[in-house]
A and B are shown apart, each in its own frame.
Chain A
Amino acid sequence: MIATALTDHELVALAQKGSEKAYRELLGRYQRPVFSLVYRMLRDREQAEDLAQETFVRVFNNIGRYDPKYKFSSWIFKIATNLTIDHIRKKEVATVSIDGSRYAVTADEIEASTITVASGDENPEELLEAKELGESIEGAIGALRPEYRTAILLRHVEGREYQEIADIMGLPLGTVKTFIHRARHELRAKLEHLRV
């Protein structure tokens, strides 16, 4: 059995030798972060699943080219963000409202492309408030420029350092700081009515 205490680098080394368990452990570690990032970028569950799968397939089928000088997380997020931003540019995926993708037509499509924020809070009023806040934030994030969205999600949902975000996005550190600052500023303006 693969110990979960192994580092990403150690798992990659095992994967390079053909260990399927090492691949599955890496999948277990990164499937939620990668899927969450892509899903919040696209707001479409089906497309997000496809692109997240494509990210892992590309990473795993090129595992021999992995350079251990860099973090594995940086590599996989870089591929995920590049694929997603390319997809957005090609398909002109909308910066959609919380009601789902503008391409959604049927009730099922609307539901699939609507992000619903769950809360563990049991108080109905607080639950409603948290749900409203969460959905407003998701909607506001969805309305940001794709580059701002990527930077803000990597920083706050994935907890990545500024330098790692710069590596992932292939941008200078100062540009990333500016993106994150502007993204927060836009979010503040959009969420003013909720007194965030």
Chain B
Amino acid sequence: MTQDTAHLEHWTLDELAEGRLSQLERARAESHLARCPLCTAELEASRAVIAALDALPRFAPSATFADAVMARVLLPDEAPAASTARARRRWLPATRRGWMLVLAAALAPLAPIVPFLAWVFSHPGVNASSLWAIGRGWVAETLWGATVRGVEWMLRSGAARWVVEQGGQMPGGYAGLLAVVLMALLAIPVSGWAMVRLLRAPTGELTHAH
């Protein structure tokens, strides 16, 4: 209401119809309404529309609605696996052409080997079993040579004597030394297994409410 003689503003009528006017404002508006049939009619019309709108019902979706939604929801404990899969998919080719390119790139370094192998096999008497025998002999010779050189170094440098002396002074004597060696050998696979478990474990504990 701008002044006593003017009609109520539509904001005022809206707020009055919805019962949102303060007590003082409502008293002023009602005093105007008492002598203004036009504003009273406006107010009644506004109230009628509001009442009709407030009476509108809500509609229910189909009975399968909730299940259809949940079928598409990634629960948080599923999310890491899904995101890992998505990250993996991001690095993989999406098309057959992409896969062919990856295969070509992977095989490219082997290209020079093919003519070399062809040249090797072109010699008389050279075949797969003869090459296998040569390779096996070379590996066995190399391993044997490394073992002999290692033992020689242990004996010449005095390291073997030091180990024997220290072992004798250990609690339990040579049996104690043997136990320590066995424990050290056992610790290697056990620590590896523990490391793998730690790396695979989730970073946060997820709890479910029941």
Contacts and interface: CB of A to CB of B under 8 A. Distances in A.
B56 A134 contact: yes
Interface residues of B, number: 35
Give the interface size class of chain A: 35 or more
A156 interface: yes
B34 interface: no
A6 to B, nearest CB: 10
Nearest to A120: B57
Most buried by B among A17, A133, A137, A177: A17
A173 B55 CA distance: 25
Contacts of A146: none
Interface in A58-74: 60-61, 63-64
A53 B68 contact: yes
A21 interface: yes
Contacts of A188: 45-46, 49
Contact of A60 (B73, B206, B209): B73
B76 interface: yes
Interface stretch (B59-67, B89-97, B183-191): B59-67
Interface string A170-189: 00000001001100100110
Contact of A36 (B58, B62, B74): B58
Interface string B180-210: 0000000000000000000000000011111
A78 B173 CA distance: 78
Contacts of B14: 177, 180-181, 184
A147 interface: no
Given A16-B76, A137-B52, A181-B10, A35 B208 contact: no
A124 interface: no
A134 B56 CA distance: 7
Nearest to B72: A57
A115 B57 CA distance: 11
Secondary structure type dominating chain A contacts? helix
A96 interface: no
Interface of A: 1-2, 14-24, 27-28, 31-33, 35-36, 39-40, 48-49, 52-53, 56-57, 60-61, 63-64, 115, 117-118, 133-134, 137-138, 152, 155-157, 177, 180-181, 184, 187-188, 191, 195-196
Given A24-B70, A39-B59, 19 more contacts: A17-B209, A18-B75, A20-B75, A24-B66, A27-B69, A28-B66, A32-B60, A32-B61, A36-B58, A56-B73, A57-B72, A57-B73, A134-B56, A156-B54, A157-B58, A187-B49, A188-B45, A191-B52, A196-B49
